[in-house]
Amino acid sequence: MFPMNINLIAIQPVNGLTAAQFAAEPLDTLHYVTSVRALAEGRVRVTKINTEGSVNHLRIQNLSDQFAFFLDGDILVGAKQNRVLNTSLFLAPHTVTFVPVSCIEQGRWRFSQAHFESAPCAAPPSLRALKSQDLGARARASLNDHWANQGKVWHYVAHLAQMHDVQSPTGNLTDVFAAKQATMDRALAALRHAPGANGLALWAGDRLISVDIFNRADALGDYLPRLVRGALLDFVHQVTPPPPPSRAAATDRLATVICEALAHATPPRPSVGVGSERRFETADTLGLALDYQDQLVHLGLTARAI
């Protein structure tokens, strides 16, 4: 049911980080459209839940005949405040779902536009880890919700802006990305999706900082630049890291970390859309596994401390 065998396809340096793309089963067993394509093509519509709106909920309407996948860490810009998804979602065709989010723009509560669009970056691994810690604790307490501590998220955004010396009038995480966009675009200029790869592991030297495995290889292609941009925000000021692990060491480490994480997973519980999810927490990692009809949709893992 869950991937254990890792076939490393490509390893590439990206501005001090190392991006390792790999193949893992199950691969291409589900049919769906990613949030990246669905939003760009108008197949889904993301809005506030009502006239007044809610900081920690959004409304996603899947207008298409396909399932739609949204990534934990997807950043959505628009409406009265920019938000980040608290968990990965698998949404059935022609459904309306109210989804849990965190605000990443503390100082704005006015419309920029009525609907939300996809940002060209995902949340940094450190922010995903911060949210995962809260969601994992709630899952272990058998609380059937997906809330992250909003105050901690706002504090994190302010810290990141200060770290990068970015002034944001509304305390907006996407302002930090915008200030670093030119540097990131240069860093990603040579990065390409490796054909057949459905998994991405990001390393800082010999330290594994995040792993994302998708059911579909084309889903990795959609999210690859966004995930790397997010990680670069955590490490743009790093000193020269030690060399990355060898291919053999990287493969062994990935398999070990994934197996250990899933061995510590909570029992399956209903996900926000369709399917079920497990939350896991080890001494070194945090994350989730989302599956539908006994098929893995997404496994997302971050280092506990970035």
Q: Does 69 map to a domain?
A: no
pLDDT value for 135: 87
- pTM of the predicted model as reported, rounded to 2 decimal places: 0.94
pLDDT value for 1: 46
Residue type, 90: F
- Residues 6 or more apart whose CB falls under 8 angstroms from that of 248 comprise none
Q: Does 185 map to a domain?
A: yes
Question: When comparing pLDDT for 272 and 137, which is higher?
Answer: 272
Percentage of the chain with pLDDT > 70?
92
DSSP 3-state assignment of 37?
Answer: helix
Predicted confidence (pLDDT) at residue 112 exceeds the cutoff of 70: no
Residues 168-194: what's their mean pLDDT? 91
- CA-to-CA distance for 260 and 109, rounded, in angstroms? 42
Residue type, 194: A
Residue entry with tokens 């899947």: 62
Task: Look up residue 111 and give its DSSP letter.
Answer: -
Predicted confidence (pLDDT) at residue 288 exceeds the cutoff of 50: yes
Residues 20-41: what's their mean pLDDT? 96
Q: Does 65 map to a domain?
A: no
Q: Does 272 map to a domain?
A: yes
Query: In the chain, how many domains are there?
Result: 1
Q: Does 1 map to a domain?
A: no
* Helix ranges (DSSP H) in the chain: 35-40, 125-140, 150-163, 173-188, 217-235, 247-263
Residue 160: burial class (beta carbons within 10 Å; 0-12, 13-18, 19+):
buried
**Residue 279, domain extent:** 7-31+123-303
Least confident of 65-69, 179-183, 193-197, 294-298: 179-183
And the tokens for 106? 């503390």
pLDDT value for 120: 92
Which of these, 286, 266, 288, lies nearest to 130 by C-alpha position?
286
Polymer length in residues for the chain: 306
pLDDT value for 42: 95
Q: Does 94 map to a domain?
A: no
- Residues 6 or more apart whose CB falls under 8 angstroms from that of 239 comprise none
Q: Does 80 map to a domain?
A: no
Q: Does 116 map to a domain?
A: no
DSSP 3-state assignment of 232?
Answer: helix
pLDDT value for 80: 72
